[in-house]
């Protein structure tokens, strides 16, 4: 439910981190369209299935196009959209379950092709929509509805995985600072290539990590989120890896590499191997008599 879409029968729980991500995405879309002087309809939101994916129905303000597809397949859908309409600003919104569990196999190929799309991933360490099962990022030992005696798998480290797979833009943030988050989402939209903004977005119902992220002095909790130092060089893979190895949640741009996008590579092949004209093709069928 939203002011623009009051009939959509879904509402995030009070305090859900996805509210902050929504606000940040709305700001980033406005900045992007204003700066590029493009209509809002030049933006396409491709949503996964999950509380996070419901974002596509809940955005306020001028509306982008949106598609709410099937669980785990945001990347193939976005790839299709971008291949057919390369001029569209194509943005995925998905959860840790959708993107990193069932959808994980698509990340590597998208990175190797350097498809020019942006992914905003809302990581709450749980499957929220289906009532609190463990996800790839749930902590070892976490008690969830699917792991009543504690999770026995080692958690995935999304940022390390993105770097290993060759994603050309990797930022990390959390939902509690939407103004800052909007800046990185906009940067990711501007990046020519495959970009991921990985957002810690707490689930107040099944995995409330606000205290852990932000800290609570009264409870003696230090807070695990830390701002990436200003002198960090995001063009250095080694520097990004070093930051990712530090404990806690980095806030900011970790890595950005400018390399040819899939479209550039395809154009290069077209230039080197121009297709035959219709007349040439017909000529090959001529019998010569």
Ligand X SMILES: Cc1ncc(C[n+]2csc(CCOP(=O)(O)OP(=O)(O)O)c2C)c(N)n1
Q: How far apart are CA 269 and CA 278, in angstroms?
A: 19
Nearer to ligand SF4, 189 or 203 (CB): 203
Q: Which stretch binds ligand X (CB under 6 A): 47-55, 58-66, 81-89, 237-245?
A: 47-55
For Mg ion, give the closer residue by CB, 124 or 200. 124
Phi (first) and psi of residue 216, to 5 degrees: -150, 105
CB of 236 to ligand X, least distance (A): 31
Provide, rounded to whole angstroms, the least separation between the CB of residue 172 and Mg ion: 16
Q: What residue number has its CB nearest to Mg ion?
A: 95
Q: Is 200 in the site for ligand X (CB under 6 A)?
A: no
Mention every residue, 6+ apart, whose C-beta is less than 8 A from residue 249: 172, 174, 200, 213, 224, 225, 226
Contact 118, 32 (CB under 8 A): no
Shortest distance in whole angstroms from residue 93 CB to ligand SF4: 13
Q: Point out which residues bind ligand SF4 (CB under 6 A).
A: 12-13, 16, 18, 51, 124, 128-129, 203-206
Question: Using CB under 6 A, which residues numbered 65 to 84 contact ligand X?
Answer: 71
Rg of the Cα atoms in the chain? 21
CA distance 274 to 255: 35
Q: Interface residues for Mg ion in 69-128 (CB under 5 A)?
A: 95-97, 124
Gap between the Cα atoms of 169 and 166, Å rounded? 9
Burial 25-37 (b: 16+ CB within 10 A, else e): bbbbbbbbbeeee
The least CB distance from residue 36 to ligand X, in Å, is 29
Interacting residues with ligand X (CB under 6 A): 48-52, 71, 95-98, 122, 124, 126-130, 135
């Amino acid at each position: 439910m939203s002011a623009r879409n009051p009939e959509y029968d879904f509402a995030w729980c009070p305090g859900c981190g996805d509210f902050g991500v929504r606000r940040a995405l709305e700001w980033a879309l406005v900045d992007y369209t204003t700066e590029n002087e493009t209509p809002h309809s030049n933006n396409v939101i491709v949503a996964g299935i999950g509380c996070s994916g419901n974002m596509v129905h809940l955005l306020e303000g001028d509306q982008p196009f949106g598609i709410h597809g099937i669980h785990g397949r945001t990347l193939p859908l976005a790839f299709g959209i971008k291949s057919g309409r390369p001029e569209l600003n194509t943005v995925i919104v998905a959860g840790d379950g959708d993107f990193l569990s069932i959808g994980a196999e698509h990340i590597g190929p998208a990175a190797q092709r350097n498809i020019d799309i942006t992914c905003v991933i809302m990581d709450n360490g749980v499957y929220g929509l289906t009532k609190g099962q463990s996800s790839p990022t749930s902590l070892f030992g976490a008690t969830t509805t699917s792991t009543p005696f504690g999770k026995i798998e080692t958690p995935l480290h999304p940022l390390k995985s993105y770097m290993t797979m060759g994603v050309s833009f990797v930022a990390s943030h959390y939902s509690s600072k939407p103004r800052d988050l909007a800046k990185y989402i906009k940067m990711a939209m501007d990046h020519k290539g495959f970009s991921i903004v990985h957002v810690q977005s707490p689930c107040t119902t099944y995995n409330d990590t606000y205290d852990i992220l932000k800290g609570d002095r009264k409870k003696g909790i230090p807070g695990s989120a830390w701002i990436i130092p200003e002198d960090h060089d995001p063009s250095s893979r080694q520097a990004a890896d070093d930051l990712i190895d530090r404990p806690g949640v980095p806030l900011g741009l970790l890595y950005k590499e400018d390399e040819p996008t899939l479209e550039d590579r395809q154009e290069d092949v077209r230039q080197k191997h121009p297709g035959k004209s219709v007349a040439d093709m017909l000529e090959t069928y001529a019998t010569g008599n």
